[in-house]
Every structure is written in C-alpha cells, then in structure tokens.
Copies of this chain bind each other. A is one copy, B any other.
C-alpha cells in the first residue's frame, strides 16, 4: 500500500461522494458536512454531521463515517483514506490519530481550519482540494445558522 503516487484526479469521485453526504445532511435539516472512508479504491463507509438530526455532539461527519465502518483492526485502518468536505476539528483529528488513518483528503479549510498541523506532526498525509462546492455549501449554511455552527465547533456564542 503506497500513497505517494496518488494524483489529484483520483480524489474527484471520492470527494464528490463526501459532498453528496453533506447534501444529504442538509436535506435532513442538518449541518452540511460529509465524509467517506475509502479502502482499495472503494468507498467502504459514509457519514455526515448529525448534530441536528440526532441531537448528537459526537457525530461529526468523520465520526459518523468511522462508526459506520464498524469495528476494525489497526491494520485495516492503515489501508484507508478519509475524504471529508471540511478540515477535521480536534475531535475528528483525534479519532484519525487514534485509529492510525494515514491519509486525509480535505474538501476545504476556509470556513473552518481544524487540526491539520497536529495531523501532519503525527505523519498523517493531508491533501487540501480547495473545493468551491464544499466551501459554498457550508458557508451558505453558516450564514443562516450562526448559533448552531458555533455550537458544533465549541465556539462562544457571539
């Protein structure tokens, strides 16, 4: 399993799947952030933020996706790539570190900039796609839902 020769082109279908998850979340009335876990070039699990839908404080998109992937060994996670529409927060970055996922592809990090530096320090390979679709979807949501958004990222209400 080598990750040094993955071209940006191969990311497109998978970040599209993560974006589809984000849109599914929005259609449910939720925060539009989505994620997929890829192994052997196949999507093996999907997830999206479920704060509103389930009143959950732990089901960020990445956590929902990892939970959906089920119980796995460290060897399994080492062969996975996590695609997420948004830069992972401290909690989700911690989960990525706990399970030793070696690579994370991020749709955008403009609306929120997570723990990318910490992930890199722990040898997680990070790609930032700077996707306008990912950014606009979340940015439009945040403009309309400041309070929910601040809650989701643990920020003081302004």
A-side interface residues toward B, CB under 8 Å?
51, 55-58, 63, 66-67, 69-75, 77, 89-95, 97-100, 115, 118, 150-151, 153-157
In the complex, the chain B residue whose C-beta lies closest to that of A92 is B94
Are the C-beta atoms of A51 and B71 separated by less than 8 Å?
yes
Are the C-beta atoms of A154 and B94 separated by less than 8 Å?
no
- Which B residues are CB-close (under 8 A) to A153? 98
Cβ-defined partner of A73 (8 Å) among B77, B95, B99, B157: B157
Are the C-beta atoms of B77 and A67 separated by less than 8 Å?
no
Are the C-beta atoms of A95 and B91 separated by less than 8 Å?
yes
Cβ-defined partner of A75 (8 Å) among B94, B97, B157: B157
Are the C-beta atoms of A58 and B51 separated by less than 8 Å?
no
In the complex, the chain B residue whose C-beta lies closest to that of A75 is B156
- Which B residues are CB-close (under 8 A) to A63? 58
Within the complex, the shortest CB–CB distance from A94 to chain B, in Å, comes to 2
- Which B residues are CB-close (under 8 A) to A151? 71-74
Q: Which 6 A-B pairs have the closest CB atoms?
A: A94-B94, A90-B97, A90-B94, A91-B94, A91-B95, A91-B98
Within the complex, the shortest CB–CB distance from A103 to chain B, in Å, comes to 15
- Which B residues are CB-close (under 8 A) to A58? 58, 63, 66-67, 95
